A and B are shown apart, each in its own frame.
Chain A
């Protein structure tokens, strides 16, 4: 065992010395390889942390949301729906909700305007007051401190006193929220009293009966669309299941790159390299030594790239708040939550990443050598 280790260390020495002969090429290879892993690992870290946080936050989402659809598009739910649903057996906390979107010309950002539920004292608002998300506060910093000035869609100026700002730690859910009292909301969007609700949310007494309730609602209100919490969670599970989307696309590109690299190596085994293998064999190296030496070349490069890439990705996502990925996700939204993600690592994905990078690369360095390694060493004499 000791000899075996010593032998492997010598082979590592040799492969390093040989790799140093083409410093530039190998450094570039390592750099590109590490960069690829960095990007993939960043996406994995970001995705899994976000998915976990979203899942935790959405556990409290309404069990059932009922929307009205008119001509296939979302419309206000009539007020009488509220009564119909309240009389349904098994339904609890049936509430008509008012929320909508508002494009603020002053800042160029889209806000989500909401009325808080009446039964939550933490969010109780008198007319003329507002609670805003932390991102909005940041966006408007320095202007109208303490007051939120909004020009309503119908052209009326609204001046709301900022009662407080939602905590920065919950920006992921509340970045663009503007909470206002029901009366303000109706005036702001020029809605008549009794216009109805944006949607209706409810809890279900027995969780196992959600499917039954959904069925009942769609019989009771045929034009309604019913969204369950499971639907919501599934939506986010899909959205952040990067494996199925972007990552897969990137991985396939990466694998193609590997294939090209392997092909290049296979076809590019020069006469000089063949001769070198012959020399080593003539000097008493066995086929297995040659293969082990080449194995170390591939393994060390890919291991180094993996460590650099993963360590860098972790720092990038959790120390620097994914500064490189964020612009991609931001798109052209003006409001973007400042999120400090809590580290959560999907070990399975990380192991998968290790497998699909280290193994193909190592194989790609080994395979072309195979044939050269089993040839007789007497080529060096010819």
Chain B
């Protein structure tokens, strides 16, 4: 067979596979809608603030609730939990009363 025919056919097959996957994505997105709503309802009912993807340390389990000093809290040497800690650094600016710079300024004044 002509080489270009073979390769173009393979590429077309690949594109077809991508199209099938896109179709799968649409179907799944539709089908999973109710489950996601249920999860949102549960989160609202229980007042959950964080996702439970990492559970090995407090500051990665409750990212949005962590202390400003949380990386040091579990052990004196616990600077960082690799690799999740590198994905989930403590937020730099966190609300009007949070954040390193703003805290120092406000606390120092009072």
Inter-chain contact B21/A315, CB cutoff 8 Å = yes
B46 to chain A, nearest CB (A): 6
Interface size class of B (residues with CB under 8 A): 35 or more
Which of A62, A109, A222, A343 has the most CB atoms of chain B within a 10 A radius of its CB?
A343
Interface positions of B from 53 to 105, Cβ below 8 Å from A:
53-58, 60-65, 67-69, 73, 81-88, 91, 94-98, 103
Inter-chain contact A304/B17, CB cutoff 8 Å = no
Dominant secondary structure of chain B at its interface with chain A: helix
Inter-chain contact A311/B83, CB cutoff 8 Å = no
Given known A218-B96, A344-B29, contact A109–B49 (CB-CB < 8 A): no
Interface size in chain A (residues, C-beta < 8 A): 96
Interface positions of A from 252 to 293, Cβ below 8 Å from B:
none
Inter-chain contact A170/B67, CB cutoff 8 Å = no
Inter-chain contact B87/A60, CB cutoff 8 Å = no
Inter-chain contact B51/A343, CB cutoff 8 Å = no
Given known A228-B95, A331-B84, contact A172–B29 (CB-CB < 8 A): no
List, sorted by A's number, 8 A–B pairs whose CB atoms are closer than 8 Å.
A16-B3, A57-B51, A58-B51, A61-B49, A74-B67, A170-B38, A174-B46, A330-B54
Residues of A within 8 A of B (CB): 9-10, 12-13, 16-17, 20, 50, 53-54, 56-62, 65, 67, 69, 72-74, 95, 97, 101, 109-112, 114, 116-117, 120, 122-123, 133, 135, 166-167, 169-177, 179, 199, 201, 211, 214-215, 218, 222, 224-228, 231-232, 234-236, 238-239, 245-246, 300, 303-304, 307-308, 310-311, 314-315, 318, 328-337, 339, 342-345
With A20-B3, A59-B40, A218-B97 already in contact, 19 other A-B pairs whose C-beta atoms are closer than 8 Å: A13-B3, A54-B51, A60-B41, A62-B49, A111-B55, A112-B55, A120-B45, A135-B52, A169-B32, A170-B35, A172-B39, A214-B95, A224-B97, A226-B96, A238-B91, A311-B14, A318-B21, A331-B85, A342-B35
